[in-house]
Chain A
Amino acid sequence: MPVLELREVTKVFPGVVANDRVSMTLERGEIVALLGENGAGKSTLMNVVYGLLSAEHGEILIDGSTVKIRSPRQAIDHGIGMVHQHFMLVEPLTVTENIVLGREPGRLGVIDFTEARAKVAEISQRYGLRIDPDSRIADLSVGMQQRVEILKALYQGASVLILDEPTAVLTPQEVRELFSVVRSLVSEGLSVVFITHKLEEVMAVADRIIVMRAGAVVGETRPSETDEVGLARMMVGRDVVLRVEKTPARCGDTVLDVRDLHVEGERGLEAVAGVTFDVCGGEVVAIAGVSGNGQTELIDALVGLRPPSAGTMALKGVDITHASARRSIEAGVSHIPEDRHRRGLVLQFDLAENLVLGDHRLAPYASRGIMNRRVIAEMARTRISDYDIRTPSERVLASSMSGGNQQKVVVAREIGRDPELLVAAQPTRGLDVGAIEFVHRQILAERDAGKAVLLISLELEEVLSLADRILVMYEGRIVREFSADEADAETLGYHMTGGGGTKLGDSGAPTPETDEAAERGAGR
């Protein structure tokens, strides 16, 4: 008998059927991966199970009997625990306080903290999840915070654990640790629903795979019966190219010319320590590097968000070294920022408003300081269909869209502006394979239209599949340049971690002991 069974669950949001008669089962001691693109309805389905949302139709069965779950409290009482995509932790409180919140031990309303700490210690020992019970959440790493979330569910007596995209925020090392935690949990008799859109994770951890697309279950399989390409096809509903084809670059005039640029970072330290490079029209130049080697500051300087301390930048011969963000846009620089929530979108604005940001002062969207709503809405509808943004209308708030669709909005705005230079920072972060393919095609289309593209990415896969030239950045300097055909992941990883020395033109052949460095550099 399954520990959890869903029958024909249907959940409708205004304009969207998020779950369309979804049925699934979960057996005791099983890891079921729920795989699907962004917006497929995975989180919605599990929020229904957890009582945060109520479904229009359908049944939930626990150990074979139908239950009504109207609130998280009832879900918890039925032994369901959930670790949400965005953590539900109270940052200023301690680990113990967060774990016992809602079920505090003690008498007459007074919390017995000694007992609370002891219980936390006991659970953390039993499942091998080591943690300091007195640390404040705000002081913990993301991986540790996730551990607290899992402990919280276990403390509440979960026998079914739902993990919603648990790896999205983890480093590769933390992902490996999480996998072993999940395996030890099922060996203790728990059952796990593992939500993800990453194919290799599904292959690595799942016993059974349920694939969702556009709100419905479209297939069920096992890792032994399929491969990543097959999963991608199921998930997206068509053949997906995991690596887009491209023609050789035809390099035109120099578009971006950067000379000996120096930029200071947050604490006055020199983050970019003299970089020189150019990008010509019709090519994609990628900057590869491990996070925190000056890429962020370089991007900020290029798009006018942070003044360089020395050096020059020119766009098509026009100096933009001290251009403001506005002047930089006017000069023809577009920017897909690495953090779409903080810099790419105004989450409280609707789609049309987000699509016009930056051009909102210009004709035809505005005249004499008054915005023309009708023209903006028309433009928004065109972009929505051109860029395949899945939304019921252009008046939907950005905050209510899935990550993949939000990113498409940013891409549509920045490429739709028809820039001379596109600065694309982590353009596919958090996206599923279908959306990644789409964004990659858009970037290459820009290139083929003779525009210059500067790609900054931590994903080597992405760098290798898009770039015509690759610059490796390490500690604020460009330490190595590769052409597309001479680079491979291993060599790049080696140089990204400082392996090749800091001199340009080093031969830099990888040695056996750098394998680990290469793997770390691969950022997966």
Chain B
Amino acid sequence: MLGDIITPDLFASAFRMATPLALAAIGGTICERSGVVNIALEGIMLTGAFFGTAAVLATGNPWIGVLAAMAAGVAIASVHAFASINLRSDQVVSGTAINLLALGVTGFLMEFWYGHPGTTDPIAVLRPIFSFTSPGGGFFAEIWRWFNGIVLSHTPIVYITIIIAVLAQWALYRTRWGLRLRALGEHPRAVDTVGVNVYRGRWIAVLMSGALAGLAGANLTIEQVGSFTENMTNGRGFIALAANIFGRWTPAGSYLASLLFGFADALQIKLQVFRDVITVPPQFFLMLPYVLTVIVLAGVIGRAIAPAAVGQPYKKG
């Protein structure tokens, strides 16, 4: 039976499940490094998922859907940016408000545009980039089967996410933008006194997190599910926040932590199939990723230190 569970598909599925988490987590990393808490990732992701689907339903082109999802993410993130940077309101309150707003707006537009609650019609999806067939038996064929399954079976955003993680990690430590971003979340006044605009730096970071969380939503609908369902993000935005913390506020760490959560999710799905053999209630498996989140957040796996100025509005002068 173990051989039925540990298959190339399990690991491929882990990468797929990790993708939306990783995108949102990297968004969270960038946002929090600038000093702005973003618990709105959940709502932004949901907004992206909805508008991405709507755009595909309207145009039939999944790539236009991806762009629409990112644009919607940026738009709703700008509300968070304005509230927490310019108005200096409490960032947790603003984030919570956006999560509720996203739930309400997507539900309302669902009824308004499509005349029913629940789930939209199926949409055109993005397909895996490569498609190779597996040759017959033998040892090398087996290796090929694993490689093909884990590495070559994915849809575009899964690869894009890995590229984003690597790029963001490099940029954070090697570029002007990255250095200023790291300084912003630690000591914004120090950044101000060397003549760098704190508000602008934070705005850019929040909008980037909006684009990334929006892209995460696009991955859910346009690559994984193929339709939009109300509240379909189902807490992924919060798990992404945990992944960001577990990844110690670095893009690469966020990706790897998301991969762990993704694996837990993939395993959970796989185990559902064997519910007749393993006599455990299915809810137990459903719990797995969340239990993992709680364990991570409880700090079992080492203390993580947040950017010193995260959550504090900056006031000039």
Contact = CB atoms under 8 A, between A and B. Distances in A.
A368 interface: no
Contact of B194 (A53, A74, A106, A156): A156
Interface of B: 174-177, 179-180, 182-183, 186-187, 189-196, 308, 316-317
Contacts of B317: 52-54
Given A74-B195, A90-B190, 20 more contacts: A50-B193, A52-B192, A52-B317, A54-B317, A76-B194, A88-B193, A89-B187, A90-B182, A90-B183, A91-B187, A91-B308, A92-B182, A92-B186, A100-B179, A102-B194, A102-B195, A110-B174, A110-B175, A111-B179, A152-B194
18 contacts: A50-B193, A52-B192, A52-B193, A72-B192, A73-B196, A74-B195, A82-B193, A91-B186, A92-B182, A93-B179, A98-B190, A101-B196, A102-B195, A102-B196, A109-B176, A110-B174, A111-B174, A152-B194
Interface residues of A, number: 31
Contacts of A54: 317
B186 A101 contact: no
A111 B179 CA distance: 9
A104 B189 contact: no
A103 B193 contact: no
Interface string A11-53: 0000000000000000000000000000000000000001011
A259 interface: no
A93 B193 contact: no
A316 interface: no
B3 to A, nearest CB: 47
Contacts, number: 74
A97 interface: yes
A71 interface: yes
Q: Does more than half of chain A's interface fall in helix, strand or loop, or is it mixed? A: loop
8 smallest CB-CB distances across A and B, nearest first, come from: A73-B195, A102-B194, A88-B190, A90-B183, A90-B186, A88-B193, A90-B187, A72-B195
B175 A101 contact: no
A84 interface: yes
Contact of A101 (B174, B179, B308): B179
Interface of A: 50, 52-54, 71-76, 82, 84, 88-93, 97-98, 100-104, 106, 109-111, 152, 156
Contacts of A106: 176
B9 to A, nearest CB: 40
A73 B316 CA distance: 14
Contacts of B187: 88-91
Contact of B180 (A76, A101, A110): A101
B193 A104 contact: no
Nearest to B317: A53
A403 to B, nearest CB: 18
